[in-house]
Amino acid sequence: MLIEVSQIPPDGLDVVLPTGELDLGNPADLWEGPASVRAAMHLGRSGRGLVIGGTFVGDVLLICSRCLERFRFQAADRFDLYCEVGTQAPSGDQRELDDDELDVTYLEEGRINTDHLLRENILLSLPVQPLCREDCRGLCPQCGANLNLGSCGCQAPVGDPRLQVLRKVR
């Protein structure tokens, strides 16, 4: 959904996005398909810019980083952004950004894309290494069997025979 900044009244605007599918972009082997997301936001004016606060709840189909099984993950979080209409400071000269500039999102076209805001915040709420469950045993390094489904029968590697002498030292 696109919201024109000029259409936001002085006392702000409340936006409720009913449950719908949101494309999260390139999955990068972490998730699969779109997310089912429900969100609410408040867009308010503040000085030269806008303050956007919101919450979301969504189901994302993730891929476990240990066993590669797919599982549903419920992403839920709150976010707050400060936006200014216009372009960022001229980029011709390289300079260090102030702390105040790091927290500003620039809206170049005078529009807020709620899908983009939600996508960014959902991706930030996903775990770096998703696990289907806390005690996931992963895959066997020899045969690739899913150890959550049962033992595979592979023998544990003995190790480098040159290091056998060190195992006897205690």
pLDDT for residue 92: 58
pLDDT for residue 90: 53
Give the model confidence (pLDDT) of 42-96 as tens digits.
999 888 889 999 999 999 999 999 999 999 999 999 999 998 887 655 555 677 7
- Mapping DSSP onto H, E and C, the string for the chain reads CEEEHHHCCCCCEEEEEEEEEECCCCCCCCEEEEEEEEEEEEEEEECCEEEEEEEEEEEEEEECCCCCCEEEEEEEEEEEEEEEECCCCCCCCCCCCCHHHHCEEEECCCEEEHHHHHHHHHHHHCCCCCCCCCCCCCECCCCCCECCCCCCCCCCCCCCHHHHHHHHCC
Mean confidence (pLDDT) of the chain: 87
pLDDT for residue 60: 93
| pLDDT band, very low/low/confident/very high, at 2 (cuts 50, 70, 90) | confident
pLDDT for residue 91: 58
Rounded mean pLDDT, 125-150: 94
